[in-house]
Amino acid sequence: MPGQIAASPVNVTPSFVVQAKLHRPRIVSGLAPLLRAQQRLAHDLDRPFTLISAPAGFGKTTLLSEWLRVTARPGAWLTLDAHDNHPVTFLTYLIAALRTLFPAACPETESLLQLSNLPPLTAVCTTLNNEIDNLNEAGALKNGERFILVLDDYHHITDPAVHQIVNGLLLHPPRPLHLVIGTRYDPPLSLHSLRARGDLVEIRSHVLRFTSAEVATFMQTTVRVPIDAATLARIEKMTEGWVAGLRFAALALNAETGDHPHFMTGAAEHRFATDYLTVEVLAHLPAAMQLFLVQTAILERLNGALCDAVIADSASTESSQQRLEWLAAEGVFTLALDEQGQWYRYHSLFQHLLREQLTRHYSAEQIAALHNRASAWYAARDLVEDALHHALAADDVSGAARIIETHRRQALNVSQFQRLEQWLKLAPTHLLETRPGLLIIEAWLLAERWRTADMNALLDRIEALLPQAVLSDMERTILESEIAALRSDYCYSIGDRAGLLRFSRHALDIAPMTLSYVRRFAWLNYLAALHLHGDLKALDDALHISLREDRFHGDAFPISPLITHCVVSWMNADLTTLHQSAQHLLRLTQERNLLNEQGWAHLYLGCVAYQRNDLDGAFQFFSTIVARPYGTHGHAFWQAAFGLAAVYCAQGECERAQALSDSLRATAWEMGGAYVLAEADALAAFVALHCRELITAQRWVETYDRNQPMAPMSMFYAPPLVLARILLDLATPQHLVDAEAWVWRIYQFACETYNIRVQIETLALQAILQERNGNRADALSSLTAAVQLAAPGGLVRIFVDLGAALRPLLAALAEHTNTSELVQKILAALPPAPAAVAPPKPLWQLTAATVSNPGDHNLFIEPLTQRESEVLNLLAQHLTASEIAENLIISENTVKRHRANIYQKLGVSRRREALRVARALHLIAAP
């Protein structure tokens, strides 16, 4: 069913976020160069950006950690790694870091990450910047105060999309943010522009180098044995003030015995040989510790339990946690990542050298075994990305596939579609094509993107694989329930009511309660199926049963049944119940922080207001959705766009409606996809219909596929009804014949699907057609039936939007005792009747040759709009389209559209004929 629910609460940090990455490493250095750099950092906090760029081993992390510890400003920390090279992952961690300071930060940005398609990065960046900028207004900071956000190890980032996000924060810096980036080399950001603006503070390796005096002080306080001046001079020459080199030298000296350390001779006579010194340091450690260091070098982050699992050393009497604590205490290039000392990491340079030792002394099979044990540990704790990383490092693609298949259900339950898509991209194509458990993820992604035909074809492929697939009984049942739920969605899209009922019921019968997303999906379609079959008693019972599942499934589950209740109430033309259900839905989505789902509540509240002729109220609800094109589900957004355009047209603001249509066409190109572009085309036709621009509307009619199956018309806008309205307004004999047949077909479908709202509109359209054919009695009968159906719900605009053609029929019904109140409301809402004039000739009869009486202004079918009159007068001045556009400050395409409408209304095809007819009708002055 359109508008499936993809919900998870905002302001809740996802479970897959590794908390250790959000902690400032626990380092206290007191090193003189870093103290100098700290002073500079504190002095330049009023600028928005600090870049600390230096090669490995210069103390960048130490500097930032120590500075963040001592500064009075609020600070957040994020350590980046290679897994963060995706905009969704990066933003998820960025928001998690911000929430260590501001627990409610960036809910709108987070809601964008929950959509099945990530919106254009420009929209994401704008939302992120605005939300960070508003932290001051939310009272999270003292007046004018800045907070610090550190992105450490930024050199791991290579994805251009992530760079674009960070660049957005720098080029348009939020007022309270001071961003600090620690990196080994300059990132591809707009550093030249930032320098020119004076927004950039730079700290580079020369600032972090030790002076001669500082080298002497460091070595004398770190090394346990006396050091003579010659040794100090040699160390300074080899290290060139590089702090990592000094630390290696200190460790090597502390490990040596005798007066003349041999590492100062031989190979070390050359530029400082850190790999040589690493071997020296390792050689003086106990054998068990050497083994521990080399085997755990595969890990980006170290935890006692994780290391125990990887090294699998049951004979050791010392735990991995004790070893990590000792390494950190002894300064052996091991950093504590949290205050509790549970997570650690090796210094990157040290880890690189350890990995060289690993590849030198271990076979590929032994290294793969280490990775597999790490993968199993992470998978058991639902840290899927880390588990996949190690499985693929072990070249265990089947193991990686099993991890995805095992964890996909949990990700699906909380609507992590972007994450699921990232997992699929890791699977080799040949593996993807043979595993139903992976292909079903692709099917869900297609469903979320409204590509139901492609989804259905993929389901055929999945079912063909099932007989040969090695699956447990539960795995097979789960897959079958997913296939059934997805099949029901395809049936809805093609109007197959029997299939919709059968598949959705089967999915509910077999799907375990743990599959909350599948059950939400199936309930939505099952409830729709019951309504389309007219089984209202079963529908009411099923609705209550579905709501009772809330306790099994968490915050998002009841949204689906409530949306279905709104859909049913709308189709029943029951505005009172619809208003109550939509208000309930709005309260629930607000209480549970389901921002994306609030759009559905606003949509149906807007529908109620519009049909009650409360145009101001409808504007508020529809515009709330349209203002957030990527902040709600696509169907809700486009339906709200139709509603807002209808409000503009009802208020006589056709130009605003046309501007809305034009702007949303650009949005449609950004969103991409055939469905979205079709919606934009339909919106243009919808606006053209309401604004009486029949040429534009006719173009859409010519492209509309009338042979496609009718789908349930359950929202504000329904393409078949717009087609009927346009055919009626085109008013050629053939168009009227087509309109009559088409309206009857829609009416029959509405009766079959128990859609009272559509029955009302088609009966009113039939009344207009019957009146045009001279069948007043039949017309009054049809309109009476329409009004009787509309009266309980109080629908007004459904009649008003059909225009003045209904006025004489409504007037004839005004004395009807059962419907007079509603009829009077409709008549009052209709625009004032024009003065009595001769009826206009239909468009198909109008040509320039018919203009025989210059005083007859009623020959053309409809008046020109104000803008069309302006364009006509400028045409009379022999201006080109581009000159008119410049004069009126509109686009050239808009001028051409107005010109085409003028020609159509005057019944001409060229400028010269248009000017002659316009002068004959006194629309412009004679030359």
Condensed to tens digits (0 to 9), the pLDDT of residues 487-545 reads: 999 999 888 999 999 999 999 999 999 898 899 899 989 999 999 898 888 988 988 88
> Which residues lie below 8 Å from residue 851, measured CB to CB, with a gap of 6+?
859, 916, 917, 920, 921
Query: How is domain 843-920 classified at the CATH fold level?
Result: Arc Repressor Mutant, subunit A (1.10.10)
Rg for the chain (alpha carbons), in Å? 35
pLDDT of 138? 61
- For domain 416-543, give the CATH number: 1.25.40
pLDDT of 695? 80
Strand 49-53 and strand 147-152: the pairing is unpaired
Condensed to tens digits (0 to 9), the pLDDT of residues 188-220 reads: 999 999 999 989 999 888 888 888 888 888 887
DSSP state of 535: -
pLDDT of 256? 64
Q: How far apart are CA 584 and CA 577, in angstroms?
A: 11
pLDDT of 457? 96
- Spans in the chain with pLDDT lower than 50: 2-3, 5-6, 266-272, 835-861
Q: How far is CA 844 from CA 735, 768, 837, in A?
A: 10, 19, 20
Dihedral pair phi/psi, residue 450, rounded to 5°: 65, 20
pLDDT of 267? 42
Q: What pTM did the predictor assign?
A: 0.77
Dihedral pair phi/psi, residue 66, rounded to 5°: -65, -40
Q: Where are the alpha helices (DSSP H) in 116-242?
A: 121-133, 160-171, 191-197, 205-208, 212-222, 229-239
pLDDT of 674? 66
DSSP state of 911: H
pLDDT of 846? 41
- For domain 19-207, give the CATH number: 3.40.50.300
Strand 49-53 and strand 177-183: the pairing is parallel
Six-digit token string for 319: 């735990």
pLDDT of 851? 44
